[in-house]
Structure 1
Amino acid sequence: MKEVKPQSFVRWFDRQFDSNTGSEYFDEFLKLLEDFPAVLNQVLKSCPTEVSTRKMGDKWSVNENIGHLILLEDLWRIRFRDIMKGKPDMSTADLSNTATDQSSFNKMVVEELINDLVSEREKTIVMLQKLSEEDLLKTSMHPRLKQPMNIIDLMHFVAEHDLHHLHTIKSIIGTM
Structure 2
Amino acid sequence: MTQPLLDRLLNQPDALHHLLAGLTEDQIRQRPQSDKWSISENLAHLSRYQDVFLARMKQIVAEEKPVFSRYVADNDPGFADWTLLPLPGLTKNMVRSREALNAYLSELPSEQLIRVGLHPAYGPMTVEGWTEFFLLHEAHHFFTILKLGGALRTNEQPMGLH
Please give the range of the TM-score, normalised by the shorter of the 2 chains: 0.7 to 0.9
Query: Shift of residue 92 of structure 1?
Result: 3.1
Q: Distance in 2 between matches of 1:127 and 1:93?
A: 22
Gapped regions of structure 1 (runs ≥ 5): 1-22
- If asked which structure has higher relative contact order (CA below 8 Å, sep 6+), I would say 1
Q: Aligned pair 1:126/2:121, yes or no?
A: no
Q: Distance in 2 between matches of 1:175 and 1:78?
A: 35
**Percent identical across equivalent pairs?**
23
Maintained 8 Å contact 1:64/1:106: no
Q: Distance in 2 between matches of 1:135 and 1:160?
A: 22
Gapped regions of structure 2 (runs ≥ 5): 153-162
Q: Distance in 2 between matches of 1:128 and 1:28?
A: 13
Q: Aligned pair 1:34/2:10, yes or no?
A: yes
Q: Distance in 2 between matches of 1:160 and 1:94?
A: 15
Question: 1:169 aligns to what?
Answer: 145
Bigger mean CA deviation after superposition, 95-104 or 145-154: 95-104
* Between structures 1 and 2, the one with greater helix share: 2
Maintained 8 Å contact 2:67/2:118: yes
Q: Distance in 2 between matches of 1:100 and 1:175?
A: 29
Query: Shift of residue 93 of structure 1?
Result: 4.6
Question: 1:158 aligns to what?
Answer: 134
Cα 1:85–1:91, aligned 2, differ >3 Å: closer, same or farther?
same
Query: Shift of residue 171 of structure 1?
Result: 0.8
Query: Shift of residue 56 of structure 1?
Result: 1.6
2:20 paired residue among 31, 44, 66:
44
Taking structure 2 as the reference length, the TM-score comes to 0.82
Name the count of aligned residue pairs.
Answer: 150
Query: Shift of residue 36 of structure 1?
Result: 2.4
Question: 1:140 aligns to what?
Answer: 117
Question: 2:74 aligns to what?
Answer: 97
> Secondary structure, in 3 states, of the residue corresponding to 1:175?
helix
> Secondary structure, in 3 states, of the residue corresponding to 2:133?
helix
Please show how residues 20-31 of structure 1 align to structure 2 within 5 Å. Answer: 26-31=2-7
Bigger mean CA deviation after superposition, 124-133 or 91-100: 91-100
